[in-house]
A and B are shown apart, each in its own frame.
Chain A
Amino acid sequence: MRKGSIAFSLFWLSAAWLILALVGTAFLLTDLYSRALDSNLISQLRFNVDTIVSATLDSRDPNFADIAVPDSRFNRAATGWYWVIRDDAGDILSTSGSAVGMLMPEIEAPFDVENYRSAILADEAGNRLRAIERATTVNQRPLHIMVTGNLDDILRSAGDFRGQTLIVLGAVGVALAIMSAIVARLALRPIGRLGTAIEKVREGEAETITGSYPREIAPLAEEVNELLRSNTQIIERARNAVGNLAHGLKTPLAVMRNEASAAKDNPLAKVVTSESNKMTQLVTTYLDRARIAARTSVVGKKADATTTMLRLVRVMEKLNKNVTIAFKRPDASLPWFRGDEGDLEEMAGNLLDNACKWSGGVVAVTMFAERTPSQQFLLIRIEDDGPGLTEEEAQKVLRRGVRLDEKTPGSGLGLDIVKELVDVYGGSLQLRRSVLGGVLAELKLPAAKVGGLVRS
């Protein structure tokens, strides 16, 4: 559990509340218990007072020493359990065995309507005492009969009780804290699963979020899926619109250009030719750009680079009968491309087209993976045995919008679109000299975390 997480806050909130509640409960219980002990003591002392009063009444003599209270603590010295009979003037007429030789304190408070009074006193031994005194009359002689019990005994057992309560409640608290931590984890686990599912979509391992989620977060998963769907639809629509626009514009442009170039010497034809050429360039540039813009938000796609390259090689071999394309088929462990299949076709296709166009008859395609600790890349190398490029020319070609072969009609290197796409995917394109003699173009593209294992 990290700080700042829901589980962390949940755990500490419930733990703090538990500690407060349990400590409070311990003190409340102890208080109730000691009150119960005290009232029990008071009623016991009252009973003793009443017993002594009735014994005195029976014998009619307060000095009658043989008053039997059935509790041995009244006979042992300094126990805190005493009884004393005094006369009106406060002189002691008789005491329990335990009080012999002790100076007994007196209660200051007035008697209540039932002729009782009560107080907390202390004896010479330092015991705190709960004292009950009753005023009565024997043979027309007013007497004060006081009985005391040891309050420290009660306080001690209340203290013991508090200790035990704290231990028990502490154990309960620990158990509850563990449970709340487990509950927080369990309750939050679907959120973790949802996060993993969304990551899979981003990685291109899944197209939508799958699995069942609890009612609270199921709408979230549904919304994310809906978002992905509408995203795909928007992109699809944009692509279709771009395609339609292309078709709509390119045919009239072709007509204008052809018509004008058929009448070369006409000044109007010259203007039409140069302007329609500009328009063609603009249309191409902006259509490419629109296509790239439409695809930057494509998430959750991956493509098997091997089948894509096989397809491209097949097509290029058919189109260039005089070129042999050596394609070393990589093994099935080659990771997939993380992105749109059409984009991969666009990048590799243009490079392969260039290689075939310039080659003297041999083109080679190799593919492999490159792994860094943080990421995995897919590398596609396309080389030819053509004239090749100098270092300087290669730099020039890689700059945007530069063509080396502007004089040859319809043979732009098509590298602009390749470069833009490579940038979109965060890959790289390098041009070097090939051992075959011509250009070696190396595409470095992000690989999907998990490739598909099935390859038709």
Chain B
Amino acid sequence: MRILVIEDDTNLNRQVKEALTEGGYAVDVAFDGEEGHFLGDTEPYDAVVLDIGLPQMDGLSVLEEWRRAGKSMPVLLLTARDRWSDKVQGIDAGADDYLAKPFHMEELLARLRALVRRAAGHASNEITAGPVRLDVKAGKVTVDGQAIKLTSHELRLLSYLMHHKGKVVSRTELTEHLYDQDFDRDSNTIEVFVGRLRKKLPETVIHTVRGLGYQILED
């Protein structure tokens, strides 16, 4: 899952990025509205954390521009202005959730997880595919009730496929959603991770669709 964080306060930006990275997300950051708008416009993100008060272009304008251009990724607004009129304005501009500063990092993570999950059409924090069960909140995977250990890259890959189960996911899409901008993108690494995952999971969970990509089948 790849997240865009747009926040002008460098410290807060860094903290959010660290927390999200630790939570298993690939994170891109921007420090002003224009840069953030450009990134959101050109890169595929699974969710965006957007501050309202930004230099160059304010958060609400960024959001409105995206929605006008048909971008539908979930957006979590961050703001110090917590009046209801501000909330109403934010939601009407196209935000999916709203978090007032100062916030607890756990709450940001929880809300973001919920947004990503909802966008993929899952109602609960647990996604299952056959014997495999993914606890999105805890970042834990079990097979037939037995916990298995995954590296963070393997977890990201499995999480993305599970979130989009039933859908064929191309290698390019995986690269775009699993790694941040600065990552050296080599689609072979995807194959390596898929190979490692298959060894840890039952053979039939991840299917290869020749020439198109990978798929986890619906139950």
A: residues with CB less than 8 A from B are 243, 246-255, 257-259, 261-262, 276, 280, 291, 311-312, 314-315, 318-319, 321-322, 341-342, 345-346, 349-350, 409-410
Contact = CB atoms under 8 A, between A and B. Distances in A.
A252 B81 CA distance: 14
Contacts of A276: 102
A246 B102 CA distance: 10
Contacts of A346: 83-84
B88 A345 contact: yes
Contacts of A342: 83-85
A243 B53 CA distance: 11
A421 to B, nearest CB: 11
19 contacts: A250-B80, A250-B100, A250-B101, A251-B80, A251-B101, A252-B9, A254-B101, A254-B102, A255-B11, A255-B12, A276-B102, A319-B91, A319-B97, A342-B85, A345-B83, A346-B83, A349-B84, A349-B87, A409-B107
Query: Which of B18, B101, B102, B104 has most chain A Cβ within 10 Å?
Result: B102
A315 B88 contact: yes
Contact of B12 (A247, A251, A319, A322): A251
Contacts of B97: 319
* A-B interface, 5 closest residue pairs, ranked by CB to CB distance from nearest: A254-B102, A349-B84, A250-B80, A247-B80, A345-B84
Contacts of B118: 321
Contacts of B92: 315
B91 A247 contact: no
Interface of B: 9, 11-12, 15, 18-19, 53, 79-85, 87-88, 91-92, 96-98, 100-107, 118, 123
Contact of B105 (A247, A250, A258): A258
Contacts of B11: 255, 259
A315 B87 contact: yes
A243 B103 CA distance: 17
* A interface majority secondary structure: helix
Contact of B84 (A258, A262, A312, A322): A312
Nearest to A321: B118
B120 to A, nearest CB: 13
Given A258-B12, A410-B107, A253 B101 contact: yes
Contacts of A315: 87-88, 91-92
B137 to A, nearest CB: 15
A243 B85 CA distance: 12
Contacts of B82: 246
B84 A254 contact: no
B102 to A, nearest CB: 4
Contacts of A250: 80, 100-102
A321 B19 CA distance: 26
B15 A255 contact: yes
Contacts of A255: 9, 11-12, 15
A350 B15 CA distance: 29
Contacts of A280: 102
A246 B84 contact: no
Contacts of A349: 84, 87
Contact of B103 (A247, A248, A350, A410): A410
Contacts of A247: 53, 79-81
B107 A345 contact: no
Given A246-B80, A259-B15, A253 B88 contact: no
Given A255-B15, A258-B15, A321-B118, A410 B91 contact: no
Contacts of B104: 257, 261, 409-410
A164 to B, nearest CB: 80
A95 B80 CA distance: 125
A314 B84 CA distance: 13
B217 to A, nearest CB: 26
Given A247-B53, A255-B11, A318-B96, A311 B88 contact: yes
A59 B39 CA distance: 148
Contacts of B81: 243, 246-247
B102 A409 contact: no
A347 to B, nearest CB: 9
Contacts of B101: 250-251, 253-254
